[in-house]
Structure 1
Amino acid sequence: ANKGANHRLCLCGSPLFLKRRGYWEVIQRTLNGSQFYTFSVCNVGEREQDNWLRTTFIQRRPSASRVFVELQFIVRDCNSFDGASLTCKETFNLFTSESDADVGTTFRKGQFKKVATIAPDEITSKNELRINTETKVVENLSRKGFYLAFQDIGACIALLSVRVYYKTCPATVKSLASFPETVAGGENQALREVSGVCVENAISEELPRIYCTVDGEWVVPVGQCQCKPGYEEVEDECQECKAGSFKAEASGDKCTPCPANTQELDSGAVVCPCMDGFYRAPNDPPTGPCSGLPSAPRDLVATTSAGKLLLTWSPPEDTGGRTDITYSIECQRCEGMVCQSCGEKIRYEPAGVGLTDTKVSVSELDAHLNYTFTVEAHSGVTVLTNPPKITAMRVMERSSTSLSLFWDVKPRVHPRPIRYELTYRKKDDNLDVTTYTVLILEKNSVQIKDLVPGTAYLFRVQALSSDGSPGGSSMEEQFETSEHLTQNNTAVIFGVAAGGAAMLFIVIVVLFLKRNSHTRQGPEDTYFSSSEQLKPLKTYVDPHTYEDPNTAVLKFATEIHPSHITKQKVIGAGEFGEVYRGILKVPGRKEVAVAIKTLKPGYTEKQRQDFLSEASIMGQFSHQNIIRLEGVVTKFKHAMIVTEYMENGALDRYLRDHDGEFASFQLVGMLRGIAAGMKYLSDMSYVHRDLAARNILVNNTLECKVSDFGLSRVLEDDPEGTYTTSGGKIPIRWTAPEAIAYRKFTSASDVWSFGIVMWEVMAFGERPYWDMSNHEVMKAINEAFRLPAPMDCPSAVYQLMLQCWLQDRSKRPRFGDIVSLLDKLLRSPDSLKTIADFDPRISIRLPSTSGSDGSPFRSVSEWLESIKMSQYSENFACAGVVTMDQVLQMKNEDIKNIGVRLPGHLKRIAYSILGLKDQTSTLSVFAV
């Protein structure tokens, strides 16, 4: 059967056949004109009744460790029996027994354990039949099946129906990931992680996962799947892009139409290729349009002025659809019929290539020569079509037997690899046969050896693209080898020889050190290891291990001169003295607001050391969610600890002052910051011991930072190490059971405390366990009581709290896991929309109900004070609401009309009235 939109109820095993034992009878009844059968027992006049009714064997699905038993039954009012009120009961008991096989009719009471006592909400009188429905949970089932049994101890009962079911999270598709039907976990596995599979034609960088809650609801999907290139999401599927559209990469985007000047392919296109004659530049996105080549520049004009030549021209008529048009100038000089490149002798202003303006100035021209200038237009796609050109060749180094040559390539950047063909020959006009040497090179430089001293050679270079297309070749250039070994060349040779000897010495030293490193390693050698080892792991050092605590203070904290500190206002009182807000102005640094902790006069040396030890602890931390130590004053009479100033003060007080003003998303963001700070501390092998909302400070950007390290201690190197203390105060409401019982503190006990902080934050600073005494708190925790979900608390957040409060500390999440889960919740705000169940009768703890008028409170002011809303006492009085009977008649509109505007305060008062109504109703029943 389906129940709700998000979970399914499944029958366990075969239909139920109830078997009688004792005085249970099958009775036919008529209700609303329909006949039905019940199992009934009614021996109210007899003492010491013990009547049992057992089901047949119920087979259990292996993964269903938690089942629900829904009962429909009728209980007769004992007052309707004459003379039987002393022996008559109005309750019966539900039992269960596990088994791996059907035991048939064999029945032994000792094999059954009690699940619950079943009490009716409505009792049937002589004249009116009232049917009750009650659902109980059977936890931690592990065998192949089980039996249910019902024990009557003297009531008049009719059992109408028994329905046994378990909850599942239904098979679903979320974020293009398919998840199978999953049985909801039990109390010890509030969030069951389930892995999914991306739907067809979808991929994910990480395995898609989701969590199934105990209520059969999916929360916090992780690892979103995305449609492959060429596919788009359509109703939880990935469908091919339609013809004429494309998608280039895996993403959640839709397919887009092919851009301009591209070919429209069939369905499922990953990219739209350019049409013939159109191109994409190397830096153009593959999803962009294609461009054509620019046409030639127009109207080139040359004019002379002040010994310079000014070239001007007009832009090309067709830019090819691009805006990145640039121009280059090519120059040739001619003597007679022979022309060659102008080389680097002439100067261009501002430049000869990459021009964006349509003019250039040319100087350093020789007289009586003819010059030919060519202006070319380029764009981002020109390099894809025009082969590279060799523009100038020059000698970089010369000797009697070798020449080192270098040449320029235009354009300098080319999208494909370029090879070069170098051809050279000896210049000898007397020979009829000329011998050429051809070299294929991968770069635009070469050293040619084994040449003849004092001889001229002719060189020509041609560019060859990797696809075989020929490029432009250079003019044939003439270079000569030198006649003899010059003094400069000799110096170069000796320099090279000396450099080689030095390099050889360095290599020998390095090899020697490397050989020794295998047998001996110093403490600094880790800094020369692999990149993963370059950053040493920082571990907290307990200042109490120093023989002289002052040494620890000097090592971990910066000394500040008192003249740099200005106290402005007292903002609190600490264990050792007042706390001030003030200003720190250190020369050379910007003035900053700070908090100043002072040591009151008359202190002992031990008090001074304890006071400064907190600075020795804080000074070792550097994290945005840990309160920052600015420095200390130790060398003067009045010791001080100076920290950053947090404008909004303690988190618990701040939340109480702003009750209901923040959304769940903002509160979870605060928790994420606290968890990140605690992860940092845990990674440093450090345990806080006093994590509570009162010890979290908030600045003006709502950033939360962990503070107050007075109870803090270091863990041993063993990650499971504990700190055991023989005494000292323990904050019971925030402390894990094992820390209370055995004084053993670990990062796992800090996780328990973080769960309490989560509850405080989601409850806007409410006191954990309300007005219960410390003894009552310890007793309740040992009896498996856990704080209920605060009002409007997201279910996923409350489930994380319960994980932090697991009795077995080894099963609690680590702070790294907590940060990860909170990050996932913040990345998926929809996961915060499912609200955990809220019961005002539990969540608002009520004082004594001995009011003279029969209501739970003696006055309106007493009631408002109990729910911490006493600031509205005058509002109620002015509105004429002066008795609790009037309070019980109020509705939401009435509460608003008397001046309660804040949403959180409005809900608190409304839920409290709802709880009062329930309690008053219960009291009336018992009074009757």
Structure 2
Amino acid sequence: PCCNNLFLFLPAEVLLDMRASGSELGWLTSPYENGWEIVQTVVNGTLFYTYSVCSIETTEQDNWLRTTFIQRRPGTSRVSVELSFVVRDCNTFGGASVGCKETFNLFISEADADVGTNFRKGQFRKVATIAPDEVTQGRVLKVNTETKTVGPLSKKGFYLGFQDVGACVALLSVRVYYKTCPSTVQSLAVFPETVADALRKVEGACVENAVSQATPCIYCTAEGKWVVPVVQCQCLAGYEATGDSCQACKPGYFKPSVSNNFCQVCPDNTKPSASGASECLCEEGFFRAPSDPSTSASPPSAPRDLTSMTLPGEGKLQLFWSPPLVTGGRSDLMYSVVCKLCDEASCTPCGEKIRFEPGPTDLQDPTVVVSDLDSHLNYTFTVEAQSGVSQFSAEKPTATITTALDYTDPPKVTEIHLDDRSPTSLSLSWTPTRRPPAHINHRYELMYRRKDDSTEGDVTTYKVLILDKSFVQIDGLIPATTYTFRVHALGPEGNPGSYSADHEFNTFPLAEPQFGNKPTMVMVAVFGVAVILLVVVAGLLLRKRLVTVHFISTVNVYQHKPLKTYIDPHTYEDPNIAIHKFVTEIDPSVIGKQKVIGVGEFGEVFRGVMKIPGRGEVPVAIKTLKPGYSEKQRQDFLSEATIMGQFSHPNIIHLEGVITKFKHAMIVTEYMENGALDTYLKGRDGEIPPYQLVGMLRGIAAGMKYLSDMNYVHRDLAARNVLVNGNLECKVSDFGLSRVLEDDAEGTYTTRGGKIPIRWTAPEAIAYRKFTSASDVWSFGIVMWEVMAFGERPYWDMSNHEVMKAINENFRLPAPMDCPSAIYQLMLQCWLHERLKRPRFLDIVNFLDKLLKSPESLKTIADFDPRVSIRLPSTSGGDGTMFRSVPEWLESIKMSQYKESFARAGITTMEQVLALRHEDIRNIGVRLPGHMKRIAYSILGLKDETSSLSVFAV
């Protein structure tokens, strides 16, 4: 059977193709007989050669197949090996399959020259164990295809080796290739063909007749794709962009400067130009001032598409317009805005009360914010376009719009006034910041209490009045007592405005009794009470039609805000509404970019600063949207901001805001100096004590508890998606895969497909694609392991298939080196197969708090198996013999920087290595605690009689 070439349409350079070689393969086999053998197969009239082996009668099979020497192209550090193979199911052989396996091994050996038939197993290092996705049971062959990336490579060439340990396998095809980003022309810049390795920044050169201020560059991905071009080239004066080149302007056209604009027709009163002209000369009798541009110096036309939008807050709206169609060829275009109040008879200026931001004149951008407007008035705004020659023209190019604020937000109340008082009553009034329109039924909510009322916890008892007018008399008060008042306005739908500040007022004390003639005192008292009653009754009758008390109630006001529930922005039909609801719009003038710190899915990520009143310049991270985006890409880019904008927690990345009203959309977040958690931890083994690591985990757990309390599931919690600031505070980020929990009893979210991060995902989420906070708890357990292992990759170099199989067989990651036993036990609780038995994030936070309050509880270390956790190579170099040299051993455990130190100390044989003690390692010159542990545990593994350091060997 033929297997399709999976990379047929990707840019790739093939170094070896078993199919194309036919029978001239010349590969070596060991042993020569009873091992791998070449087989001829005819398919559709075409002869194919394959290698197969099926020695299953006995155990301990060790059959090798070696390719010819494969030349490595200079500059290529990694290659891809694509295998097509068939594996027979061992169950089909019955009792004859004593030594049957269903896997084989891939090895590599680097060399600077072809060694011919000199084949030594010890020269090879293992790349991977190749396991089939499907095994063949009957006559229908199940063809498997698998691709492995091999590297880094440093020598001139290499051999591939295939080791059979007892499988019945047929190797149908082997293809070795490396990917390239093909030569291309983008944004008028030429970029050469580039080997695709890791993400690589490639410099280019502008095409002929084009220039740029900086060197054009672009990124080549590991998949052979060009992404995110940076710095665009522009055509010279007299040239315009045509396809991927700059062509001279046609006769009668000109282009005055370096830009990507098109050539223009020569203006009136000028001579026809020649090809490639940068200006058109004036006809005889006509002149151009030295300061004028090359185009005609006419005033601009009127602004276009003038519109308005009400903004949140007190009396604010924003005006937008499009630039005029005719600019007169000038670059000094500005705008001015005039506000008037007009009726049928006349118009009057709005006055100085109205404020413009940034101002009413000399506006360079086609937008302005107007504030302090009344909600019941119609305003007429006139926008005029101006340039340096507008003074010579009698016509004023203007655009006009008449608008009024939508009455949605109630006005503010800032002051409460005491109008009158007695021993048992207080008369109060207040004035809102703006007048309500006549058709609005305006109401207020007044809350008051005795100042000396005792409070219990965070609860304070208030009495509440709902009023139709902005004044009230409160009776039945206690004499000589201080009361605290606050008031706010209610909107038409009952939506509340912000409360005023608390105001305190006192009732009068009772008058002291005078001793004397009792009848006289009684008469005076009776007369006084009668007068008071008459006054009170008259006052109440006068106010009855003015003041209506709707209800009086007692409420308990908590001094903290209740936790919000997350709202999925994808439920909004118009995504722009979600952006305006959840995200703050930032003025681009307060943002400054400084340095590129990464490349995201949609564009570059910058470190920059943001000017914040009262705080000065604050460091921020700025995600940008690359030029040429579609509207869908823009919405996808901003969707993460609509999610982040709903969160406010010290351990969730803080969104400063977005820039959407201008050409280049941006997302601005707080800047985390130490970047991603997994990258930060790598290489810091031994530098950060366990207590501090537990503190970092506590911060992550607190952030996840916050998300869980909001009925929100993250789906992609991993150390790479946790950011670290300069104080080693951890904050959960990257909400690109996140989704809200549904309201059903299960609280699950079912995906519609898409990629799942297998190593971090709970088994029920992998099997059924259902995600809950319990699946986030599983992911948090993996994050705990990453942190305690200082950024090591979970499940090491196991494939996703191997990971899923191991988890379903109840395998769990072992404890990292020096991991506190309590922390590892919490990991195991997070990895319980039944999700309802896993701890909640609330339980996790409480447990970590207890550990941090009792540091001695972290001193008990979990059992550590160096053969599993470090996954060091065995004592053999691949063929059952000891490592041939100390440098080879050090290189295998990634400690090659100590080769010279071991040589200076006279440690030149593996026998001397096995005799080393802890103090000997320190005397050699190994000082870092993490490096000492790695070397010491490697020696422990070398002494182990089992030699095999992988519990996952087939």
Report the TM-score when normalising by structure 2.
0.43
Report the TM-score when normalising by structure 1.
0.44
